[in-house]
Every structure is written in structure tokens, then in C-alpha cells.
Amino acid sequence: MFGHTSPKFTRAIAVVSAVGGLLCAPAHASDVSKEEIKKAAALNRGPYLTLLRSLVEVESGSRDLEGLAKIAGIVRSELAKLGGSVSVLPGRPVYPLSDSPAAVGDMVKAEFSGKGTRKIMFIAHMDTVYLRGMLARQPFKVDGDTAYGLAIADDKQGVALIIRAIAMMKELGIDDYGKLTVLINGDEEISSPGSRETISKLAAEQDALFSFEVGGPKGDIRLATSGVGAVQLSVEGKSSHAGARPEAGANALTELVYQLSKLEDLSVPSQGLKVNWTLAQAGTNRNVIPANASAQADVRANRVSDFDTLEEEIQARTQQRKLAQSRVDVKFEVRRPPLEATDAAREIAKQAQQIYAEIGHDMPVKDQPTGGGTDAAFAGLHARGAVIEGFGLTGTGAHSNNDERIDLKTLEPRLYLIARLVQVLGSLSR
């Protein structure tokens, strides 16, 4: 069930939150001081940039299997150096979408054993939207506190941040977890047809999962995102000469217009459901009755249940046809489900805010759906613990051809946050 939360975990987090009362007995807590963590975070800029450069300089578009294999090798090697039990999971489009390639990039999975009891998971993606050859126009460079590069914000900063955060925790001896799982996938930009099932399955075992897409302008983290769906409406008619024998045909365009007229009022803005018809195609020649016509709609929803209800409604409305000889087919795809905020996520977000306050920073928490297209949503489908998005550095210009960047001033605070949050979660008994 979507949004299910372990009652024990929710209670354990709540009792040490700002609104809690009783203290839990520590299960395990490393004795590394806050000051030591701050000093270690400050020393990581150089190693982080070195790793980030190596990732950015590999072109790894979602359909570029050679590039994805190369960057997966870098990620696998780095995680293995840190002592992780690393495996490469083959990329197969187990949930093929209308535009899915025949093969997708592999996933790199690593597991680290600690002395605590909590199961924590970090996720990010190594594929990009860019085509081979575009790196020359958007090379890696650093100008003061800003780093630029192809896919540097989305999401190579996140991959590098996970690796360096684990390296820093290893150096400090912070192992306040039972198992720390890392999953880096290579098909996020094409709606994760090969990795969504693995993400959901692994997430269901976790007490907390953090996704390392970019954070907001002020380091914002997100507890909810809109889901993304698509509708493909196809009509098959019968062609005929438009001048000599139009009556012998079945005009697919006429049928399409009729069907669209019945599907105009599907949006429910008050609950975040948006259905917009954005593409249409019909006919081959001006003087031929079109035998085929099609239209596509973009769908956004804030609740998983809204996708199911919408699909049922569209199927019901398209049963009646205007032309007896026509055939109407509807395909509904959930490109990404919504990520819905949970009480467990809200409680950990409070802890994150308190940790940021330790180093003099505010951190907004967004618990209302915004945007869409995040692997954290697949994680949230069956999660028993918290799922939080936006643990990466602040960045802008994602998917742009010349101005993708990250703010390096957010590196130290993020490294501090990750290490301290692992400490805090590890101090809570089950």
C-alpha cells in the first residue's frame, strides 16, 4: 500500500523530534563529534571535484550503452574501494513504455554493513538526456563556487556526493546503520523502465531512503512530487477518395475529434489532476479520407489512486463511437507515480532541519507536490519508512545545452547533513 509506514519507526523518530517527549535508549551511536564532521566536510571539496570531473567527462545518455557501461565501471570501482559489497544488476526494460529502447543501462548496487540496526538507502542516477558529442559544448569547469558541466546537476553531482559522503563517514568511523544500500541506475531520464521494479523492491526493506537529485535554491528537500502519466488515443478508420467516394471510407480524424470532445473535462485542478492533450496526427494526403489518427495527452497527478481512476474513466468514455466502422484504442502509461508525503518523512525532515541549524543554515521542507519525474516516487510505492527527495547540492540548468551548474557552497552543508543524519537515525532504538 502506497505510503505505508512502519508504526515502530514512526514512533521512534517522533519521540526525539522537536514535538516529542521521551528519549529512546541508544541502539548504537558513533562518538564522532559535530566539530570533527564539520572539519571532514571542509576537506572534501578537492576529492569531490576530482570525482565529479571524472563522471561529467563520460557522456552517458540514456540510450548510450557504451557510455553508461563506462560510467558504471567508475561508480562500481569507487564503491568497491570503500569496502562495499558491489554488484552490477543488468538493465532490462521489465516495464517497457512506448518509447523504451530495447536495452537500458545497468544498475550499480552496493551494500555496506555497520554496527547499528537501521536500514538506509541512497539513490541517484548516472544517465543523462544529452546526445554523444554535446560534452564539447558544455565541458566541466569550476569558476569560484560554481561548477559547470554536462549533466553536472542532473544527476552526476548526486552520484559523486553519495560516494564522497560514504568515504567521509568511513574515514570518521560513522557506521550507525545496520545496512547502507546504494543504488545508482542508468535509465532515470527515460522513466526507469528497467530499474523501477528494483528501486521499489529495495525501498520496501528500508527504514529511510534518500534520493540525491538537486536540492532547492535554499537547500530545500522534498517529501512529495507530482506523478507523470501519458495517454495514447489511436483511431483506425478506412481510407477512401475524399472527392470521388468519401462515403466509402471511415474518417479516423472525425472519430478522433469526437473522442477528444468527450475527454475535455478530465482535469481536477483542486486535487492536482491535470490532463492536457498536447499532440495529434491524422491523414497522409489532402484528398484521402484518413485511415488513422492519434492524439497524446500529458497527465499529472498528486495521488497514485488518481491515475487508476482516470484510466477507468477514459476507457469508459471511449466505448461509444461516432463511426461504426472505426476502432478506438486507448493506452495509459504511468511514467512515474506521485511521491506522497508521509508522517515518517516529515519526522526525519524535522531532524534534518535541526541538523542544518547546527551549522547555522535554514532548510525549507516542501511537503506539497511539485514538479514530477523522480525515482523517489518508485521508492515510495511500497516504502515502510521515510522517502525524501532533494538531498543533492543546489543546482540549476538541468537539461540545458549550455548552462548546467551546481553551487559548491552547498557541498559542505550537505556532507555534514548526511553524516549527522546517519548518526541520529542510528541512535534510535527500534
Per-residue pLDDT tens digits for 162-187:
999 999 999 999 999 999 999 999 99
Active site residue: 155, 175, 187, 188, which one?
A: 188
Is 1 inside any structural domain? no
Do residue 88 and residue 143 come from a single domain?
yes
Is 398 inside any structural domain? yes
What is the per-residue pLDDT for 244?
97
- pLDDT of 6 over the 50 cut: no
Domain that holds residue 307: 227-335
What is the per-residue pLDDT for 28?
55
- Contacts of 202-206 spanning 24+ positions with Cβ under 8 A: 202/109, 202/121, 202/379, 203/121, 203/378, 203/379, 203/380, 203/381, 203/382, 203/383, 203/387, 204/382, 204/383, 204/384, 205/119, 205/384, 206/119, 206/120, 206/121, 206/181, 206/383, 206/384, 206/385
**Which CATH number characterizes residue 237's domain?**
3.30.70.360
Boundary (domain end) residue, out of 335, 353, 372: 335
Do residue 66 and residue 200 come from a single domain?
yes
Boundary (domain end) residue, out of 282, 307, 335: 335
Do residue 205 and residue 260 come from a single domain?
no
Do residue 154 and residue 238 come from a single domain?
no
Give per-residue pLDDT as tens, 200-210: 999 999 999 99
Active site residue: 78, 106, 127, 311, which one?
A: 127
Is 350 inside any structural domain? yes
Do residue 54 and residue 143 come from a single domain?
yes
Q: Is 188 a catalytic residue?
A: yes
Is 182 inside any structural domain? yes
What average pLDDT does the segment 188-200 reach?
A: 96
Give per-residue pLDDT as tens, 224-248: 999 999 999 999 999 999 999 999 9
What is the per-residue pLDDT for 29?
66
**Which CATH number characterizes residue 80's domain?**
3.40.630.10
- Where do the DSSP E strands lie in 274-416? 274-282, 292-301, 327-336, 365-366, 370-372, 386-388, 395-396, 405-407
Task: Count the domains in the chain.
Answer: 2
Do residue 160 and residue 69 come from a single domain?
yes
Do residue 192 and residue 246 come from a single domain?
no
Give this prediction's pTM: 0.88
Do residue 102 and residue 219 come from a single domain?
yes
Q: Which three cell numbers stand for residue 367?
A: 511537503
- Lowest average pLDDT, out of 14-23, 45-54, 110-119, 303-312, goes to 14-23
Is 235 inside any structural domain? yes
